[in-house]
Structure 1
């Protein structure tokens, strides 16, 4: 498997547009972006509940 060329990328974009339509694409990208943001946040360990942090500090 090699890299994706220009033709393949254009074909993928065309298929996505046909499947989802132009109006749904921004919503999908927004959801994908927030998912990536949450994943990075959880990977750094910033996703802990504040109440759980206070309980750990009190012990």
Structure 2
């Protein structure tokens, strides 16, 4: 991935983030975002495992005369 392909607006956003948080705090910020995403994904998997998925459709067992 080449940084030259980024638009000018992304460079401005990157500079603003560096100015707001400072270079020393950026690794901690990235680590915290990664942990948050990991927790969110595990909670979504847990929600699916708790039985909150759609129930299976029942088959029609009636016979026609």
TM-score computed with the length of structure 1 as normaliser: 0.67
What runs of 5+ residues in structure 1 fail to find an aligned partner?
47-59
| Residues 17-56 of structure 1: pairs in structure 2 closer than 5 A | 17-45=18-46
The number of residue pairs the alignment matches comes to 42
Structure showing greater Rg: 2
Question: Hey, what does 1:9 align to over in structure 2?
Answer: 10
TM-score computed with the length of structure 2 as normaliser: 0.61
Cα shift at 1:10: 0.3
Deviations 1:3-58 (A, max 9, x none): xx610110000000000100000000000000000000000007xxxxxxxxxxxx
Q: Which has the higher helix share?
A: 1
* Structure 1 stretches of 4+ moved >6 Å: none
Question: Hey, what does 1:51 align to over in structure 2?
Answer: none
